[in-house]
Amino acid sequence: MASSSSAETKLATAKTVLSTAASVAATAMLVRSIAQDFLPHEIQHYFFSGISSFFSRFSSQLTMVIEEFDGLVNNQIYEAAEIYLGSKVSPSTHRIKVSKPEKENNFTITMESNQEIVDVFNGIKFNWILVSRQVESNFHNPRDLNSTLRSEVRSFELSFHKKQRDLVLNSYLPHIVKQSKSMKQEKKTLKIFTVDYQNMYCNIAEAWIPTNLDHPATFETLALDSDIKSFILHDLERFIKRKEYYRKVGKAWKRGYLLYGPPGTGKSSLIAAMANHLNFDIYDLELTELNNNSELRRLLVAMANRSILVVEDIDCTIEFQDRMAESRALHPHGSQEKQIQDKDFQAASGKVPFDA
C-alpha cells in the first residue's frame, strides 16, 4: 500500500510540473503575441531583451553578442564570422542570402536574419543566430518628405556553455578569423591595379584603379625550362610558408625577382603565372610618372597585402653614369687614386617584389 501511495504521489507531482510548464509556455506565447501586436517595433527589442536577460540568470548558457560595427568602424570579428558561417550552411537551414558583386566571379553565401547555425569546434557545439532589427535614422528620403529612412542593425549571437568562455576567446574566435582570411583569399577574383595619377592627392584609396586579371598563364602552360620552372615554384612555396620566420628575425615578408630581356620573351606571362599560382593581385607601377619619393610612398601604403608589385622598365628610371669617363675628366693625367673599374649592366625590364 505504501509503495502504491508513493507512486501515485510521484505521478501527481509529475502532472503538476507538466501542467505548470504548459501554463508558463502558454503564458509566454500569449505575452509575446500581445507584445508583437501592440508594442511599437522599437520597444519590442528592449522588452524581449529584458525577458531574455531575466531567464538567462538561471541558465548555464552564455551568449556573446558580436555587432556589425564597433563604433564607426567595421567589426573584424563580425566580418570573419559572416564569411566563416557562409560555409557552414546545412540542409536544415531554411533561408540564406546569395549575392555577387558586379566585377567578381564567385557567389557569396551568408546567413539570413533569425536563422540558426550550429558549428562544432574541438567536439563542442556552438550556436549562432543572426539578429537584425530596424532603427529609425535621422536621414529622410528626399523623394518622400513624409517618410523616415530606416537602417538595419545586425549582430551575431553566439551561445555556448559558460565554462567554454576562455576556449571561445583564446581559440575558437581566432580560428574563425584565420579561416575566414583563407576563404576570402581563395574565392577572390584576381585584379591588376594601375595608378590614376590625378587622384593621388585627392583620395589615396582611389589612386589604384582595379581591373579583373583574366590572363590564362599558369606554370603548367608556361614555356619555360623545366629546371628554372621548378626552382621558381619551390622558391615561391618556400617564401609563402616562411611568414612566421620572417617575423621572428625582424624582416619584412617580401620577395624580389629581377626579370630582364627583350619584349616578347615571356616576362609578363611569368608574372601572371605567379599571380595565378599564389592568388595574389598585381600592382603595375611606372616609376617614370612619379616626381618624388613621397608619391611612391603614398602608393605603396595604399597597396593591399598578399600582392605583387611590378615595376615596369626600371632601367629607364635610372640614369647610368659612365664612371670611367668621369674619372678621366677628374684625373686627366692619371693619379695615385684607385681607378674605377668598369662594370657590365644588364638592363632590367621589371622588378617584381612580393608584398605579403
The string of pLDDT tens digits covering residues 255-294 is 999 998 888 889 999 999 999 999 899 999 988 888 888 8
More confident residue, 220 or 53: 220
What integer best gives the mean pLDDT of the chain? 77
Give the confidence band of 175 by pLDDT, cuts at 50, 70, 90: very high
pLDDT, one tens digit per residue, over 136-165 is: 666 555 554 444 455 778 899 999 999 999
CA 206 to the chain's CA centroid: 19
Nearest to 105, CA basis, from 192, 215, 212: 212
Q: What is the arithmetic mean of pLDDT over 67-73?
A: 86
| Eight-class DSSP state of 168 | I
Share of the chain above pLDDT 90, in %: 28
pTM, two decimals, is 0.56
C-alpha distances (whole Å) from 197 to each of 283, 293, 294 are: 14, 14, 13
φ, ψ of residue 300 in degrees (nearest 5): -65, -40
Q: What is the arithmetic mean of pLDDT over 307-323?
A: 71
DSSP string of 69-84, one letter each residue: EETTEE-HHHHHHHHH
Question: Which amino acid is it at 63?
Answer: T
Q: Three-state DSSP class for 350?
A: strand
C-alpha distances (whole Å) from 345 to each of 146, 205, 264, 320, 342 are: 73, 37, 21, 9, 10
Domains of the chain and CATH, by start:
60-140+148-189 (no CATH), 191-329 (3.40.50)
CA 75 to the chain's CA centroid: 12
Is the distance from CB of 351 to CB of 311 less than 8 angstroms?
A: yes
